Amino acid sequence: MRRFILIAALLIVGALAALGWFRRDDIALSLLRRTADANIARNELTALPDGLHAAFCGTGSPMPDRQRAGPCLAVVAGQRLFVFDAGGGASETLTQMGLPPGAIERVFLTHFHSDHIDDLGALALQRWAGGGATTPMTVAGPPGVERVVAGFNEAYAIDATYRVGHHGADIVAPSGAGLIAAPFAFAEGTDRIVVLDDGGVTITAFVVDHGPVKPAVGYRIDYRGRSVVVSGDTVPTPSLDREAKGADLLVMEALSVRLVSELEAAAARAGRAKVAQIMEDIQNYHTTPADAAEIAQRAGAKALALTHVVPPLPSPVFDGLFLGDAKTKFAGPLWVMRDGDLVSLPAGGGMEKKRLLRR
Ligand SMILES: [Zn+2]
Ligand SMILES: [Zn+2]
């Protein structure tokens, strides 16, 4: 009904404009001002109720996909904003979801595959020049994060001088430029470590199996009795079962072997043997939707969100093909996530899924 009213209103406005009663540019300018006011004033961080919230700022993979940014999950705990991975396009999606990059307290990386780190530079820039941050963006991760951070700092060093030179140090504080690494390491014989524990928020990193990619970790976030577990990239592994135990929301990467096999066959038919081989190789270090459902069921997770969707799905029409028989293996809600989705876990209990991005 709302859509009908909107279409009717647009038709009337269009007809009036055609009759010359309004000038098209005046209407456009008025729309632009309203949109700018709404977007610049928007801050979902302060609008969300106390609790734990998982905001999907990137649900894609390295495969080209205009509908999905690279891997990115923003977790809001109370009023604090943490980001897990920053794939290509993530900072743009985060901003369009009304979550201000300037508020990012810390970024956590699961591993250093390019699709998980591509947008770190843009995210740090948005946090600093766009968001007014006066300290560098802290990026936590296993050993290796120092090199990644150093590389981005070097790549953006010249740009930082332009920003300060043009706007002045009062507007863009030089102290806020760039990134700072916060590496963590697992003690001998252990595969989990608490990497943040203050103000009621606990974040635990745990080793997963994305071999030959090492190190690779997942994270568990606990706040006021609610919990979110982020798998990172991994095959099913006992540490994931352990950490996902009783989680309110399990966020799992997922790859459909069946659909990737179709891409492999297409590449072979096109005579692109190397692409076909890559499609073959990637099938052995990810989790299928059915595997993810079994993990969630074994762990007693309350809900399962599939992300890092491989291969790209042009529309939700393909979700069924992607999922295969996964829904028969998990008793709770199981979603194929899209950029802009939010799953809220209020401190008092309950769960709500909604959209922060309209497209
Ligand atoms: Zn990976
Ligand atoms: Zn990945």
Instruction: Report the alpha-carbon distance of residue 140 to residue 252 in Å, rounded.
Output: 20
Structure pTM? 0.92
DSSP run (H or E) holding 163? helix 145-167
- Of all ligands present, the nearest one to the C-alpha of 111 is 1
- Ligand 1 centre and the CA of 210: distance in Å? 7
DSSP state of 194: E
Residues, Cβ < 5 Å to ion ligand 2: 113, 115, 233
Paired strand residues for 328: none
What pLDDT is recorded for position 259? 86
- The CATH T-level fold of domain 45-355 is Metallo-beta-lactamase; Chain A (3.60.15)
What pLDDT is recorded for position 18? 62
Distances (CA, A) of 205 to 76, 111, 194: 17, 12, 6
DSSP state of 210: B
What pLDDT is recorded for position 3? 67
Within its chain, how far is the Cα of 98 from the centroid?
14
Could you give the residue numbers annotated as active site? Answer: 115
Look-up of token digits 């093909």: 321
Within its chain, how far is the Cα of 228 from the centroid?
13
**DSSP-assigned states of every residue in 78-91:** TTEEEEE---TTHH
- Ligand 1 centre and the CA of 296: distance in Å? 21
Instruction: Report the alpha-carbon distance of residue 127 to residue 121 in Å, rounded.
Output: 10
Query: Within 13 Å and on the Cβ side, how many CA atoms surround 188?
Result: 0
Contact 131, 140 (CB under 8 A): no
- Ligand 1 centre and the CA of 164: distance in Å? 35
What pLDDT is recorded for position 13? 63
Closest CA to 222 of 201, 247, 250: 201
Residue type for position 216: A
Instruction: Report the alpha-carbon distance of residue 265 to residue 246 in Å, rounded.
Output: 39
- Of all ligands present, the nearest one to the C-alpha of 71 is 2
- Of all ligands present, the nearest one to the C-alpha of 216 is 1
Domain ranges of the chain: 45-355
The pLDDT tens digits along the chain (359 residues) read: 566 676 777 777 666 666 666 688 889 999 999 988 888 888 999 899 999 999 999 999 988 898 999 999 999 999 999 999 999 999 999 999 999 999 999 999 999 999 999 999 999 999 999 899 999 999 999 999 999 999 999 999 999 999 999 999 999 999 999 999 999 999 999 999 999 999 999 999 999 999 999 999 999 999 999 999 999 999 999 999 999 999 999 999 999 989 888 888 888 899 999 998 888 888 777 889 999 999 999 999 999 999 999 999 989 999 999 999 999 999 999 999 999 999 999 999 999 999 998 76
What pLDDT is recorded for position 41? 84
What pLDDT is recorded for position 208? 97
- Ligand 2 centre and the CA of 113: distance in Å? 6
Look-up of token digits 């096999």: 261
- Ligand 1 centre and the CA of 135: distance in Å? 29
Paired strand residues for 286: none
Radius of gyration of the chain (CA): 22
Residues, Cβ < 5 Å to ion ligand 1: 113, 233
